[in-house]
């Protein structure tokens, strides 16, 4: 009889490609992963892992069993979903993530609502960027992720995921208060061609979006400063070091010395939740989506 937790460990190794990353995804130690794999190899009577330089790789038998493990775990997910749906109550543990501004703007009220309306549901939350959150749901490390894409740059949703829109999040240009355009009712992005920019970290989804959007308008932006937190970007703008684009979700209080002006083209992000389609019937998923939508309506 194959042990389900050992199959889950093998599946994590196949997906992550290393013992350390599999351990992190499973929230266990690397020694626990190694012990589970040793026991699984003893159970099946075949070698499942082989050394590959300083790392490991799956043997042919390991890949074969890992393929079966993925399908078995998917069926287990379906069974758990059906059982939870049959009970008709949101109970147990729900693991969710959101990108930082959604975690700040949506999670507090949504999680309070879930705690009050579904006392049998235990929610664990964390911050993850959109691509990381979606990937963690695909792997089974999370049950639901709040992700985003921009109006002109969709985020590809991996196969096997369901999605639900939560809200549209407008974004504005932020200028130093003394900037010549600071008192305008709206600004076209083309008018900012000669500005210095403050952006998200290089390689981040939103940073790539900013470059994509400005270059589509024949603007090669001079990005002078990079900052992950929006409030850090706003502090740079207040100091007169450049301009930035800031979404409204989770923005909070603005510092002195900045002026916020809407973009004429209507720049906005689409915020939505994703979860595994084979968990679609789980009341806990439905309860979380309902709470997140209500939180989005309050901030919208």
| pLDDT tens, residue by residue, 239-294 | 999 999 999 998 888 999 999 999 988 889 999 999 988 888 888 999 999 999 99
| pLDDT tens, residue by residue, 52-65 | 877 788 999 989 99
Burial (0-12, 13-18, 19+ Cβ within 10 Å), 252: exposed
Gap between the Cα atoms of 208 and 227, Å rounded:
14
Strands 144-150 and 92-98 come out as parallel
Res 86: pLDDT: 56
| pLDDT tens, residue by residue, 20-34 | 888 877 778 888 888
| pLDDT tens, residue by residue, 204-239 | 888 999 999 999 999 999 999 999 888 999 999 999
CA torsion angle for 69, 3, 274, 286 (degrees, to 10)? 140
Res 183: pLDDT: 94
Q: Whole-prediction pTM value?
A: 0.72
DSSP state of 278: G
| pLDDT tens, residue by residue, 60-106 | 998 999 888 888 887 777 777 666 665 667 888 899 999 999 999 99
- Whether the CB-CB separation of 286 and 120 falls below 8 Å is answered with no
């Amino acid at each position: 009889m194959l042990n389900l937790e050992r199959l889950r460990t093998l599946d994590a190794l196949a997906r992550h490609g290393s013992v350390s990353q599999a351990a992190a995804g499973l929230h266990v130690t690397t020694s626990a992963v190694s012990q589970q794999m040793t026991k699984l190899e003893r159970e099946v009577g075949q070698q499942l892992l082989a050394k590959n330089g300083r790392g490991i790789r799956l043997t042919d038998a390991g890949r074969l069993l890992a393929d079966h493990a993925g399908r078995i775990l998917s069926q287990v997910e379906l069974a758990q979903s059906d059982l939870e749906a049959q009970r008709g109550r949101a109970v147990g543990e729900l693991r969710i993530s959101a990108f930082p501004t959604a975690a700040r703007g949506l999670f507090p009220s949504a999680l309070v609502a879930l705690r009050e309306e579904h006392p049998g549901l235990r929610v664990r939350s964390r911050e993850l960027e959109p691509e990381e959150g979606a990937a963690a749901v695909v792997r089974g490390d999370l049950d639901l992720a709040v992700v985003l894409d921009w109006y002109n740059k969709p985020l590809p949703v991996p196969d096997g995921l369901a999605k639900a829109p939560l809200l549209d999040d407008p974004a504005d240009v932020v200028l130093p208060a003394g900037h010549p355009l600071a008192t305008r009712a709206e600004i076209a992005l083309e008018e900012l061609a000669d500005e210095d920019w403050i952006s998200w970290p290089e390689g981040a989804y939103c940073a790539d979006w900013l470059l994509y959007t400005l270059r589509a308008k024949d603007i090669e932006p001079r990005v002078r400063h990079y900052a992950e937190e929006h409030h850090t970007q706003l502090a740079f703008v207040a100091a007169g070091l450049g301009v930035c684009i800031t979404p409204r979700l989770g923005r909070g209080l603005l510092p002195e010395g900045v002026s916020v002006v809407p973009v004429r083209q209507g720049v906005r992000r689409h915020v939505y939740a994703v979860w595994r389609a084979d968990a679609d019937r789980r009341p806990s998923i439905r309860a979380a989506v309902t709470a997140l939508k209500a939180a989005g309506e309050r901030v919208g």
